[in-house]
Amino acid sequence: MKRVLGYSDVWSVVPGAKIRFKVSTYGPERYRADLVRVISGADELERGVFREEEIDAPFNGEHSGRLQPIHAGSYAIVPTSSVLDALESFTVQCWVFATTPDKGEQGLISQWRDDPATGFTLLIDDGGSVAMRVGDGTGGLSEISTGSPLAERRWYLVSGSYDASRGEMSVSQEPAASTLEGLRAASARGAARAFAGAKAPMMFAALPALRPDGKLGSQCHFNGKIDRPRLSASVLSAAEVSAAATRETPHDQNPQVVAAWDFSRDIGTDAILDVAPNGLHGRTVNLPSRGCKGHNWSGAEQNWRHAPQEYGAIHFHDDDLYDAGWETDFEYVVPTDLRSGIYAARLRADGDESYVNFFVRPPKGTTTAKLAFLASTVTYMAYANLQWTFHERYAEATETFWTTMEKSDVFLQEHEEFGLSTYDTHSDGSGVRFASRLRPVLSLVPTTHCWSLIADTHILGWLENEGIDFDVITDEDLHREGVGLLEPYSAVLTSAHPEYYTTAMLEGLRSYLAGPGRLIYLGGNGFVWRCALSDEFPGAVEVRRAEDGIRYRDEEPGEYYLEFSGEYGGLWRRLGVPPQAVVGVGTIAVGFDASGYYRRKQGSFDPRASFIFEGIGDDEIIGRFGHLGGGASGSEIDAVDPMLGTPTHALVVASSEGHTKNTLIVPDEIGFHHVALDGAQSPLVKADMTFFETPGGGAVFSVGSIAWAASLSHNDYDNNVSRISANVVRRFLEARPFAIPT
């Protein structure tokens, strides 16, 4: 059981900057925090490669523990106002697309207080039907239901009214006319006790709840889409409800419409806009998904920017999470003399241990080394708190190994509120589009699975062993600063798995290579998916997987355009910038049971590549060892493809062999089903070690394998994977320019 967890407000910091740590304990009253520099992680400590260095820091020592809860679930909220407080007779309505109508009570539109029962709420009741509830302010409660369960994933126009003069309330649900299933409308009408305004905020997609700390929270979260909510200060007829639901500005036709929220406005922000004169604007909480198809989507346009009137829905989920919102337990001002690297606040309590990692980079515009290691923090976010292997029925067959669970995995199963990765699905089956670092990320511990951060620390531990100076910079830095971040460095070294790239990141890297920059790609499956970051939601990444690629979950058709940037999501390969056109190689195959090794090719004997193989025999097998599958070529591997942009002068200096039948060609390489495209039968399954020069005097070296990093430390770093890597780094750091052959 996890006993202590934490996170920080930022991941990348410069000397002199402040970082804030937020900690929660699960049982213990005390915990210890220590600053450590993470030199090399390890999935198994007996491998002997784990190294960390304890650093003096003001926060080192014992701290008081406390439980800090996480409140997951997205909703929207509108502040209380005199307009809302003045309601007597009224009608509330919206279009709904319920994805789990049978999960229990779910709020749709509410202005409500529980104690005493005051206000109104339009909701889905325990039977899956639309219901209306009003309170009289003295504890008296009236409720009425259509008694007809909503069909799952079908649009309905729903409404509820209260008539003060008659002491009567009504509720209705009308299926969208586009349905071909013969779904029936349903309605109900009945007497009601007196209504008293709640004098409280209005909430969409949840019911209000008072937290233990006295702050307003939420409960009974709705799963599904809400489109065009309306509030009128009178009882509307069915025809008037329909008219208000179909007009973008219904108040122009009916002055009784006091609020008309248009969710197609301000997509990419947390703002929800009321287009009626009263301006009852609000905001979303916990990053529900926007840029979503509305009730009137015709299919004629796929881009929400081009037809905003058809993308007026917000998709809410009961397990959305953006910012855990914990209070700060201690702060740390990074000393001016702290070297660049990966650091962590190491937390210990009752035999449990957690790490809150952060990255110290040089001050903006300065460097402390000629080599930069580019940490894949955006990819770390995309995978944060991955739980796919525990929920997917075919996970073990796909991953080709038995699913094993560590303490952190068990904890995530017990605490669903900690949020998901972009590889997971929400509780309603829809794909997760957002992942955040503003919460504990249990997958970023330097003593867990050899993946992501762990594999990257193997590169840093190797650099340390080789005595090669380096700075650490991050993806988020590159996204914000562009090529200016990279230009001062003679060479940039990638992580083992730089999979997710924003447009700004990729353009920064390409601009660097257009000059004298040198790039060393010691990884695989890199530069694959376009993603997006946003200044509106710092610390969150958005991923929408379009029609192609390895698909751990499907994207909803018509919703492939990113909310944060308005760009089309999906593979960079399908967007015209394949990784082969950047680093010479691109993903060809994936397999997790065993890794292969490399054999030198004719290109390795070209004088241009002689520096790479200094000290390597002509017929020497390269990398038949390693901590990840027993070889240097494995997990996810990349190959050249001139049709996709591998430069014509690129040298393939080695290619891998020894892959198994469980290493399979990726879907984007296959036009149709083919059973023989695996490592045991197809020569296409191979990683190509590649080198080429660039026009500005720079060069690119790629190994095309995630497993390469896990082979560096073999035999106490005395091996040919380490030797080749060192040969490349040292040559790339020389001032002498490279030249493209004539």
- Give me the CATH number covering residue 175: 2.60.120.200
* 732, containing H or E segment: helix 720-732
Is pTM beyond 0.85? Reply is yes
372 within some domain? no
Strands 529-530 and 500-501, bridge-based pairing = parallel
Same domain for 255 and 123?
yes
Q: What is the pLDDT of residue 674?
A: 65
Query: What's the CA gap between 697 and 699, in Å, rounded?
Result: 7
145 and 176 assigned to the same domain: yes
In a domain, 729, yes or no: no
pLDDT at residue 479 in the model: 98
Pull the structure tokens for residue 31: 């915990």
Q: Is residue 80 located within the same domain as residue 141? A: yes
- Do 106 and 223 contact (CB within 8 A), yes or no? yes
Nearest alpha-carbon partner for 533 in 498, 494, 578, 503: 503
- The verdict on 167 and 301 lying in the same domain is yes
State the total domains in the chain: 2
Q: What is the pLDDT of residue 211?
A: 87
At position 7, the amino acid (one-letter code) is Y
Do 178 and 293 lie in one domain? The reply is: yes
Quick one: CA dihedral 446, 709, 358, 432, positive or negative?
A: negative
**Residues 248 and 285 both lie in one domain:** yes
How far is Cα 5 from Cα 16, in angstroms, rounded to an integer?
Answer: 25
> Which of the listed residues 258, 291, 316 is the one where a domain comes to its end?
316
Q: Is residue 245 part of a domain?
A: yes
Asked if 172 and 290 sit in the same domain, the reply is yes
Q: Is 262 domain-assigned?
A: yes
Q: Is residue 740 part of a domain?
A: no
| Alpha-helical regions (H) of 304-416 | 377-382, 388-391, 395-399, 407-414
Residue 466 lies in a domain: no
Please state, in angstroms and rounded to a whole number, the distance separating the CA atoms of residues 71 and 455: 32
Locate 722 and state its tokens. 């380490």
Q: Pick the last residue of a domain from 316, 338, 360.
A: 316
Q: Pick out the chain residues at pLDDT < 70.
A: 179, 388-403, 405, 450, 672-676
pLDDT (0 to 100) of residue 391:
67
pLDDT value of position 542: 98
- Give the model's pLDDT for residue 676: 65
The residue with tokens 């080599």 is 371
Residue 200 forms part of a structural domain: yes
Domain that holds residue 119: 75-316
Q: Are residues 113 and 239 in the same domain?
A: yes
Q: Which pLDDT value is given to residue 402?
A: 61
Alpha-helical segments (H) within 121-250: 238-246
User: What pLDDT was estimated at residue 357?
Assistant: 96
What pLDDT is stored for residue 678 in this prediction? Answer: 77
Pick the closest to residue 635 from 593, 583, 678 (CA basis). Answer: 593
Could you give the CA distance from residue 456 to residue 497 in angstroms, rounded to a whole number?
8
- Do 22 and 142 lie in one domain? The reply is no
Task: Please give the pLDDT value at position 207.
Answer: 97
Whether residue 172 is found in the same domain as residue 55: no
Is 61 inside a domain boundary?
yes
Could you tell me which residues come within 8 angstroms of residue 151 by beta carbon, excluding any fewer than 6 positions away?
A: 101, 175, 181, 183
Say whether both 335 and 303 belong to one domain. no
Please state, in angstroms and rounded to a whole number, the distance separating the CA atoms of residues 737 and 160: 73
Same domain, 254 and 339: no
